[in-house]
């Protein structure tokens, strides 16, 4: 076992040139930035809002806000990280409007659980996702991440789905690096725990093997 | 290494940003602790499954609609700004 392979990111060498051109009034350059990142922004927005219409609004609002505030972008971070920060704020605002009864803040206290390793964990099938059709799998993943607190979902989608670095995620969310790492660990462990019932070995799920003892499958 | 220490290092290990000494201690732990091995393996699979999933893909027709809407709103903003300057 080893580290997960990082997602190959889009080339960003000409990003700054596009931003400078857009700042100078070249709308085609800004449209190229939209083309480059609209799918990412939509994915992030839907992960956070968990609502298709809200995600559509967030994509529009985030790009329009970026366009109207482009002169304020000083190039200290990547344009994409700056755009993500705008999109995350827009998405959280949507979520607050939709669920006013629950305070949604990235700074909320996450010290809710102890740091003990889960016990008597069930192993998964070798390729657990292949037990399901694409549509079934999407439904499982959607329902599973839906149950996660917004603060965990947000860090997880930026780091593990979109492939931002820890530093970029901290920058985009205005969080410290230890805060990003702590939320990421909890998000990963909670998702793993929730996916257990779908992906654990069939024999175990059917009670055909002792669920506690190891099976020498290391 | 204890199980609690393994958990503390898990994120850095999976992200490949762990120093060589800690990595070797962690892998030694995983060699005999089946429980932590399964936690590590299934957490890694969790990340890979989400990363490789086509969850929340933007459909082409919706993308076209959003791009047009964004372009129209940006144009409207530009016109208002230039009117203000005139």
Q: Which residue has the higher pLDDT, B8 or A107?
A: B8
pLDDT digits (tens, 9 = 90+) for B18-55: 999 999 999 999 999 999 999 999 999 999 999 999 89
Q: Where are the domains of chain B?
A: 1-55, 57-86
Contact B15 A31 (CB under 8 A): no
Compute the nearest-CA separation of A117 from chain B (Å). Answer: 6
Compute the nearest-CA separation of B86 from chain A (Å). Answer: 16
Contact B16 A60 (CB under 8 A): no
Q: How does B49-73 read in b/e, with b if 16+ C-beta sit within 10 Å?
A: bbbebebbebeeebbeebbebbbeb
Taking each helix axis from N to C end, the angle separating A134-146 and A177-199, rounded to the nearest 10 degrees, works out to 130
Q: What is the mean pLDDT of residues A102-124?
A: 63
Q: Is the dihedral angle over the CA atoms A52, A4, A194, A106 positive or is it negative?
A: negative
- Beta carbons within 8 Å of B26's beta carbon, 6+ residues apart: B1, B6, B9, B13, B18
The candidate with the shortest Cα–Cα distance to B43, out of A136, A196, A157, is A196
- Given a cut of 50, whether residue A212 has pLDDT beyond it is no
Domains of chain A: 15-98 (1.10.1740.10), 128-204 (1.10.10.10)
Nearest CA in chain A to B9: A185
Rounded to whole angstroms, the Cα distance separating A101 from A121 reads: 35
Q: Which residue has the higher pLDDT, A60 or A6?
A: A60
- Quick one: pLDDT band at residue A109, thresholds 50, 70, 90? very low
Q: What is the pLDDT of residue A115?
A: 64
Residue of A118, A119, A196 to mutate, interface with B, max B Cβ within 10 Å = A118
Rounded to whole angstroms, the Cα distance separating A120 from A213 reads: 8
Tell me, yes or no, if B62 comes closer than 8 A to chain A by beta carbon.
Answer: yes
ipTM of the complex: 0.90
Is-contact B72 B80, C-beta < 8 A? no
Q: Which residues of B touch A7 (CB under 8 A)?
A: 51
Is-contact A106 A154, C-beta < 8 A? yes
pTM for the full predicted model: 0.85
The candidate with the shortest Cα–Cα distance to A90, out of A117, A122, A63, is A63
- Quick one: pLDDT band at residue A118, thresholds 50, 70, 90? confident
pLDDT digits (tens, 9 = 90+) for A95-108: 988 876 555 565 55
Q: Which residues of A touch B80 (CB under 8 A)?
A: none
Q: Which residues of B touch A47 (CB under 8 A)?
A: 56
pLDDT digits (tens, 9 = 90+) for A61-81: 999 999 999 999 988 889 999
């Amino acid at each position: 076992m080893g580290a997960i392979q990082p997602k190959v990111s889009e080339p960003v060498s000409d990003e700054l040139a596009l931003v400078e051109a857009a700042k100078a009034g070249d709308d085609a350059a800004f449209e190229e930035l939209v083309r480059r990142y609209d799918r990412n922004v939509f994915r992030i927005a839907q992960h956070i809002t968990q609502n298709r219409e809200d995600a559509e609004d967030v994509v529009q609002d985030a790009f329009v806000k970026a366009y109207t505030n482009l002169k304020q972008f000083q190039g200290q971070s990547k344009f994409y990280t700056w755009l993500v920060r705008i999109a995350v704020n827009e998405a959280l605002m949507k979520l607050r409007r939709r669920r006013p009864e629950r305070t949604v803040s990235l700074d909320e206290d996450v010290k809710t659980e102890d740091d003990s390793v889960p016990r008597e964990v069930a192993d998964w099938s070798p390729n657990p996702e292949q037990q399901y059709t694409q549509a079934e799998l999407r439904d499982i993943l959607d329902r599973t991440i839906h149950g996660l607190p917004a603060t965990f979902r947000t860090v997880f989608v930026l780091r593990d789905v979109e492939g931002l670095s820890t530093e970029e995620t901290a920058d985009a969310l205005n969080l410290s690096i230890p805060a990003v790492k702590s939320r990421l660990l909890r998000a990963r462990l909670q998702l793993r725990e929730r996916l257990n019932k779908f992906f654990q070995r069939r024999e175990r799920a059917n009670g055909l093997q002792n669920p506690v003892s190891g099976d020498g499958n290391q | 290494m204890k199980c609690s220490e393994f958990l503390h290092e898990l994120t850095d290990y999976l992200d490949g940003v762990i120093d060589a000494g800690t990595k070797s201690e962690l892998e030694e732990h995983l060699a005999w602790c089946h429980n932590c091995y399964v936690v590590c393996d299934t957490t890694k699979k969790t990340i890979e499954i989400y990363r490789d999933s086509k969850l929340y893909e933007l459909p082409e027709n919706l993308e076209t609609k959003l791009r047009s809407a964004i372009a129209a709103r940006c144009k409207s903003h530009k016109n208002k700004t230039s009117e203000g300057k005139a």
